[in-house]
Chains A and B, each alone.
Chain A
Amino acid sequence: MDAFTRTHRTGSTKQHIKGVVSMVQKLKQASSKKKASAALALTVATSMVLAACGGGSSNTESGTNASTDSGSSKATTLKVEVFDRGNSPKGSTITNNYLTNFVQDNFGTPNNINMEFVPVPRSEETNKLNVLMASGSDVPDIVFTYDSGTFYRYAQQGGLTDLTELLDQYGPNLKQFLTDETLAYGQLEGKQYGLPAKRSHLGKYSSFIRQDWLDKLGLPVPQTTDELYTTLKAFKEQDPGQTGGKVIPLGMSIAPAQYEPLIWSFIKPMTEEESYTLTQQLSSRDYPILLPGFKDAMSFMNKLYNEGLMSPDFSLDKDKTKLSENVTKGLVGFFSEDDMNPYYPDGMYATLQKNNANAVLSAVDVYTNEEGKHPKPEYSPIGMYIMIPKASKHAAEAIKYLDWMASGDNLFQMQNGVEGENYTLVNDVPVVNADAADEIKNRLYNQGDMAIISNGKQLGDADKNVEAYVVGMPEKYQEDTRKALTISRTDTIKPILFDKPIEAQAKYGTSLLDKFNEIIVKLTMVKPDQFDSTYDQMIKEYLANGGQAILDERTAAYKAMKQ
């Protein structure tokens, strides 16, 4: 899940629809090679139409501007990519709304720059960006992507502007805002090819248990993985939710939010060398498949599955649709999920309580490693990669724009709107004014896509950032949200960053990710007596399909880094 959807997570139905829509779009784009090229042509055509429209609207704007500051030198046009999620409220468009005007008035006009926003449909982000980049002259001056592979590919193929000097010259505020830790993610062999957005909350996962079931059975909240197993068994045997045998003690899916907390808790504490060499990064996420303890994790999942303690159809559930459905129906006793996901208005918990007023879902931190800790992965400190294509003639203006966003309270205003109208400050945390008129609320409908230098609200420190999420939740769930957000930040494992991209990962990443999911599914579902042989077989296949190449390259890169 990318960062923006993360801040805008809503209920299960919406997620489901989103899933289907994105699937449909994926299919439309690539239903076959032929169709893919047709789709490409279509995208090109649409982008030209869209570009034409965008150009038209901003021309009229620039017309009025030019007449007011007549005499000054000719205004430059700065083109900035913006995600179009098709959710523009009535009266505004993705290229002309409160925030685009805010940017034009506060940055554009004073600097004699016309801001032009180039819409890219969110769901076909990468494909559309590829088309824009390949078009050369027509490419926006600021583009971005969440996909690290795409960023590295552009950088390596020489398609991006080196920003190292420009950043020193025009972006002191930006540099200070992003910090060296974040900027490191945008560097390639010492050169700054991308500016990664700064992420405000790094926590990822929490687990949730049906507290009312525990109370009914007189059981304590499980504190360790072993205790969890006992609890799950009790859920299965005593069926406290009276599901008529349909109880799913552990809700599982084939999405990372469900399996990652379980698997990582089995990984043995690792040395720095092990973490660098044995971790496999597939599509921007670290996977522990070769780390000691992975087999134990699989063996535990195998046990749960074969004893009927886990969702039987989890392998069909890629986008958590089935899981959400089962949770809201009151069939699931325990599951892991993105930390605050269940608490959104009309989210999982709200729907569950609508179906069963007595249901209580508590955030818990259960999976335990041999040291008694609760290890779980955290996000890398970045959001999307902001890039300036080599074809851009306005790299300096582009950096100025980002620097403007990072200076003063511009970012705060873009993210929170107008004080007294959109929010009120409580203990330095802006609390959204929920009673505001739609017209006022709608000002910020795309703030996550406009305030590109940040991922999530930035209020100075992690606790305040988290608090901003908490106060955005329905009041009765705020305490639970706070707890889940604390759990997700406890005992976290940081992602591994090399000073140069691992090429084998870019090459085999997506294929191996599918393979990895296949391995989890197979090892979980196989009969226990065939577990060992299947494990050996699957690992062998994994290594042969590129895992070994990644391992070798990471080992070499680690050695080079240590010299």
Chain B
Amino acid sequence: MNAILYFKRYWQMYALLFLPVLYFAIFKYGPMYGIIIAFKDFNFFQGINGSEWIGLDAFREVFAMPDFTKTLRNTLMLNLLDLMVSFPAPLILAVMLYELKITWFKKISQTILYIPHFISWVIIGGIVYQVFGTQSGMINNIVTSMGFDAIPFLTDKNDWLFTYLIVGVWQSAGWGTIIYLAALTGINRELFEAADVDGAGRFRKIWSITLPSLKPTIVTLLIISLGNMIAIGFERPYIIGNTSVRDYSDVLSTFVYRVGIESGQYTIATVVGLFQAVVGLVFVLGANYASKKLADQSIL
């Protein structure tokens, strides 16, 4: 009886929800049917149903591929380094922006900082070559004109890591500040006034007021990043990378592209995709669990 009354009153809400749910069912859950390909010797003239079951053979094959091990290692390595460098960057930037008192300057710097987020990786790739190239790059032109040897930013794998990380920070840090700044607007100004009365300095206030207020945001973003540990975008390593640094720049996404799309081995590509999804899920749940235990914060 209550349920009927409830529905009578709130059916519009459910009606509103219907389309989004339908969207997820069709475009997110529907395609999961294709996961079956990972367990079949997929032949697209016979379709998914007509192809033969092969059990876990494809998984065995993938795990035995030297390229898979290497790209898995690189994916984790690049993501971990990225987490160490690119994760704190927006936080620091946001706190710095928050401390600024001149509004117009703050607004302009914020805009300039997040513009790179909207630039396509293809274009960033072009810029990177112009700036970091060994022979004709801007930086190396300066370095060599001062009498030093050119630094192989793009062709030595360790120098390349630096390039990769710096470019990542440049591209994403400004955009990342938006979420922190939004969280910061929620801080009660009275806290700062009280701290002023108590004679707290600027760093004391950052440490004791600003950062603690950001803790839930930081934890949420950290959990999301950890969930993405094993997933890696295609554009950045593919475009910033090149043949001479393949030892590091070859990652799971480029591997899937090469094997699945270029060589037409859909089964193998699906296996890698499924593997990434499962491991990603484990990472998210693990990080969430850990943060619930350690910091009493969680998103699930």
Write the residues of chain A forming the contact surface with B, with a CB cutoff of 8 angstroms: 20, 23-24, 27, 29-33, 35-37, 126-127, 130, 133-134, 136, 149-150, 153-154, 157-159, 254, 311-313, 315-316, 318, 390, 506-507, 509-511, 514, 517-518, 521-522, 525, 541, 544-545
Write the residues of chain B forming the contact surface with A, with a CB cutoff of 8 angstroms: 31, 34, 43-47, 65-67, 120-122, 129, 133-136, 150, 154-155, 231, 233-235, 238-239, 242-244, 246-247, 250, 253, 256-265, 269, 272-273, 276
Evaluate contact between A32 and B233: CB separation under 8 angstroms: yes
Evaluate contact between A23 and B253: CB separation under 8 angstroms: no
The one of A24, A316, A514 in contact with B155, judged by C-beta atoms closer than 8 angstroms, is: A316
Evaluate contact between B136 and A313: CB separation under 8 angstroms: yes
The one of A30, A36, A316 in contact with B133, judged by C-beta atoms closer than 8 angstroms, is: A316
Evaluate contact between B155 and A313: CB separation under 8 angstroms: yes
Evaluate contact between A521 and B45: CB separation under 8 angstroms: no
Evaluate contact between B258 and A159: CB separation under 8 angstroms: no
Given known A30-B234, A133-B44, contact A149–B246 (CB-CB < 8 A): no
The one of B135, B238, B239, B261 in contact with A127, judged by C-beta atoms closer than 8 angstroms, is: B261
Evaluate contact between B246 and A514: CB separation under 8 angstroms: yes
Evaluate contact between A30 and B243: CB separation under 8 angstroms: no
> How far apart sit A130 and B266, CA to CA, in the bound complex (Å)?
11
> How far apart sit A30 and B261, CA to CA, in the bound complex (Å)?
8
In the complex, given contacts A31-B234, A159-B45, A511-B258, what are 5 additional A-B residue pairs having Cβ atoms less than 8 angstroms apart?
A23-B239, A32-B234, A313-B155, A511-B259, A518-B244
Evaluate contact between B243 and A27: CB separation under 8 angstroms: no
Whole-angstrom distance between the Cβ of A384 and the nearest chain B Cβ = 17
Given known A30-B234, A159-B45, A313-B134, contact A521–B265 (CB-CB < 8 A): no
Evaluate contact between B253 and A312: CB separation under 8 angstroms: no
Evaluate contact between A20 and B122: CB separation under 8 angstroms: yes
Please, which residues of chain A bring their CB within 8 A of the CB of B154? 313, 316
Evaluate contact between B264 and A150: CB separation under 8 angstroms: yes
Evaluate contact between B273 and A33: CB separation under 8 angstroms: yes
Evaluate contact between A514 and B258: CB separation under 8 angstroms: yes
Whole-angstrom distance between the Cβ of A204 and the nearest chain B Cβ = 22
Whole-angstrom distance between the Cβ of B244 and the nearest chain A Cβ = 4
Whole-angstrom distance between the Cβ of A537 and the nearest chain B Cβ = 11
Q: Looking across the interface, which residue of chain B has its beta carbon closest to that of A311?
A: B135
Closest 6 interchain pairs by CB?
A159-B45, A315-B244, A31-B234, A134-B44, A313-B135, A312-B135
Please, which residues of chain B bring their CB within 8 A of the CB of A525? 155, 244
> How far apart sit A153 and B43, CA to CA, in the bound complex (Å)?
9
Given known A150-B264, A312-B134, contact A510–B258 (CB-CB < 8 A): yes
> How far apart sit A510 and B34, CA to CA, in the bound complex (Å)?
24
The one of B45, B133, B260 in contact with A390, judged by C-beta atoms closer than 8 angstroms, is: B45
Please, which residues of chain B bring their CB within 8 A of the CB of A159? 44-45
Evaluate contact between B269 and A130: CB separation under 8 angstroms: no
Evaluate contact between B66 and A541: CB separation under 8 angstroms: yes
Whole-angstrom distance between the Cβ of B22 and the nearest chain A Cβ = 16
Whole-angstrom distance between the Cβ of A473 and the nearest chain B Cβ = 31
Evaluate contact between B263 and A149: CB separation under 8 angstroms: yes
The one of A37, A126, A315, A510 in contact with B242, judged by C-beta atoms closer than 8 angstroms, is: A315
Please, which residues of chain A bring their CB within 8 A of the CB of B235? 27, 31
> How far apart sit A486 and B151, CA to CA, in the bound complex (Å)?
42
Q: Looking across the interface, which residue of chain A has its beta carbon closest to that of B44?
A: A134
Please, which residues of chain A bring their CB within 8 A of the CB of B246? 514, 518
Evaluate contact between A157 and B44: CB separation under 8 angstroms: yes
Please, which residues of chain A bring their CB within 8 A of the CB of B43? 157-158
Can you give 21 A-B contacts (C-beta < 8 A)? A27-B121, A27-B234, A27-B239, A30-B234, A30-B257, A31-B235, A33-B256, A33-B260, A33-B269, A33-B273, A133-B45, A154-B45, A157-B43, A157-B46, A312-B134, A313-B154, A315-B243, A514-B250, A514-B258, A521-B243, A545-B65
Whole-angstrom distance between the Cβ of B176 and the nearest chain A Cβ = 20
Evaluate contact between A511 and B133: CB separation under 8 angstroms: no
> How far apart sit A522 and B243, CA to CA, in the bound complex (Å)?
9
Evaluate contact between B243 and A509: CB separation under 8 angstroms: no
Q: Looking across the interface, which residue of chain A has its beta carbon closest to that of B262?
A: A510
Q: Looking across the interface, which residue of chain A has its beta carbon closest to that of B34?
A: A37
Q: Looking across the interface, which residue of chain B has its beta carbon closest to that of A515?
A: B246
Evaluate contact between B264 and A149: CB separation under 8 angstroms: yes
The one of B121, B234, B263 in contact with A35, judged by C-beta atoms closer than 8 angstroms, is: B234
Evaluate contact between A33 and B264: CB separation under 8 angstroms: no
Whole-angstrom distance between the Cβ of A396 and the nearest chain B Cβ = 21
Given known A31-B233, A313-B155, contact A24–B122 (CB-CB < 8 A): yes
Evaluate contact between B122 and A27: CB separation under 8 angstroms: yes
Given known A35-B234, A318-B243, A541-B66, contact A507–B45 (CB-CB < 8 A): no
Please, which residues of chain B bring their CB within 8 A of the CB of A29? 261
Whole-angstrom distance between the Cβ of B224 and the nearest chain A Cβ = 16
Please, which residues of chain A bring their CB within 8 A of the CB of B247? 518
Q: Looking across the interface, which residue of chain B has its beta carbon closest to that of A32?
A: B234
Given known A507-B265, A518-B246, contact A27–B238 (CB-CB < 8 A): yes
Evaluate contact between A511 and B261: CB separation under 8 angstroms: no
> How far apart sit A529 and B258, CA to CA, in the bound complex (Å)?
33
Whole-angstrom distance between the Cβ of A215 and the nearest chain B Cβ = 27
Whole-angstrom distance between the Cβ of A112 and the nearest chain B Cβ = 30
> How far apart sit A388 and B276, CA to CA, in the bound complex (Å)?
38
Please, which residues of chain B bring their CB within 8 A of the CB of A521? 243-244
Please, which residues of chain A bring their CB within 8 A of the CB of B262? 510
> How far apart sit A254 and B245, CA to CA, in the bound complex (Å)?
14
> How far apart sit A404 and B186, CA to CA, in the bound complex (Å)?
77
Please, which residues of chain A bring their CB within 8 A of the CB of B31? 37
Evaluate contact between A130 and B66: CB separation under 8 angstroms: no
> How far apart sit A335 and B154, CA to CA, in the bound complex (Å)?
24
Whole-angstrom distance between the Cβ of B27 and the nearest chain A Cβ = 9
Please, which residues of chain A bring their CB within 8 A of the CB of B260? 33, 36
Q: Looking across the interface, which residue of chain A has its beta carbon closest to that of B242?
A: A316
Please, which residues of chain B bring their CB within 8 A of the CB of A31? 233-235
Please, which residues of chain B bring their CB within 8 A of the CB of A510? 258-259, 262-263
Given known A159-B45, A316-B154, contact A517–B233 (CB-CB < 8 A): no
> How far apart sit A149 and B262, CA to CA, in the bound complex (Å)?
10
